[in-house]
Amino acid sequence: MKKELLDEQDKPTQLRLQTQLFLAFFRVGILGYGGGPASIPLIQKEVVEKYKWMDDEEFSDILALGNALPGPIATKMAGYIGWRVGGLIGLLVAIFATIIPTIVLMIIFLNVLNAYKDKPWVQGISAAVVPVVGVMLGVITLEFIKSSKITLGWAQMLIVLIGSLIAIEFLGIHPAIIIVILLCYALLTPNKKKKKCDL
């Protein structure tokens, strides 16, 4: 009897949680112009700042691991976050909410663009979106730098930042390889802060 009562009390909470998951990733799906990179700041805004399902450090760990794996980053992150927050149903809800707006908008926009592709306003749509995406990525980059400064310290953070930039931009090394190397380094290096706390 008590168990049934608790289950009944949990239903509105679960329903509200699944609704929040749907709305969070629906907004990401419908506003994430420019693909995966444009979606990342939106996901961070919803997951970390709005609903507080995780902090910046956890989010950056998920982002790093997600980038090292194949497939679209927005879908991978939606699936994992959905599963973590709402279980299997949450996983399905988050993925569904992420992909449905894109599919619907592609069908509508491609028909419109094909009909009016020679018009100047159509050609200007993509050009207008690019600067906005750049600003969004810049904001989330600053957040990650601040978070890295706290966990790694200025010196180590700058070494990783500059080293990664040189490796990706000038040496042409794929970002996934850099991420895997840094993940292995993080796993094999003892956490000095934790050791100090233990002492």
pLDDT tens by residue, 87-140: 999 999 999 999 888 888 788 878 877 777 677 766 676 677 677 777 777 877
139 domain residue, yes or no:
no
User: Among positive and negative, which fits the CA dihedral 37, 168, 176, 54?
Assistant: negative
Q: Record the tokens describing residue 62, joined without a space.
A: 């998920």
184 domain residue, yes or no:
no
Q: Supply the angle between the helices 36-44 and 56-68 in degrees, to the nearest 10.
A: 160
110 domain residue, yes or no:
yes
39 domain residue, yes or no:
yes
Q: How many domains, in total, are found in the chain?
A: 1
198 domain residue, yes or no:
no
Helix (H, G, I), strand (E, B) or coil at 198: helix
Q: What is the pLDDT of residue 6?
A: 42
Q: What is the pLDDT of residue 20?
A: 93
Q: What is the pLDDT of residue 145?
A: 80
Q: What is the pLDDT of residue 131?
A: 78
Q: What is the pLDDT of residue 9?
A: 47
Q: What is the pLDDT of residue 114?
A: 76
Q: What is the pTM of this model?
A: 0.59
> Is residue 46 within 8 Å of residue 114, measured between CB atoms?
no
103 domain residue, yes or no:
yes
pLDDT tens-digit readout, 121-136: 666 766 776 777 777 7
Q: What angle do CA 165, 73, 80 make, to 5 degrees?
A: 125
Give backbone dihedrals phi and psi of 19, rounded to 5 degrees, phi first: -65, -45
Residue 34: DSSP 8-state:
T
> Is residue 93 within 8 Å of residue 22, measured between CB atoms?
yes
**pLDDT tens-digit profile, the chain (199 residues):** 444 544 544 555 888 999 999 999 999 888 876 667 778 888 999 999 999 999 888 898 888 888 777 778 888 999 999 999 999 999 999 999 998 888 887 888 788 777 776 777 666 766 776 777 777 778 778 877 877 777 777 888 888 888 888 988 888 888 888 888 887 877 777 554 444 444 4
Residue type, 24: A
117 domain residue, yes or no:
yes
CA neighbor of 58 nearest in space, from 36, 43, 38, 75: 43
171 domain residue, yes or no:
no
Helix (H, G, I), strand (E, B) or coil at 71: coil
Q: What is the pLDDT of residue 40?
A: 85
Residue type, 138: G
CA neighbor of 89 nearest in space, from 153, 10, 160: 10
**Domain enclosing residue 51, as ranges:** 2-126
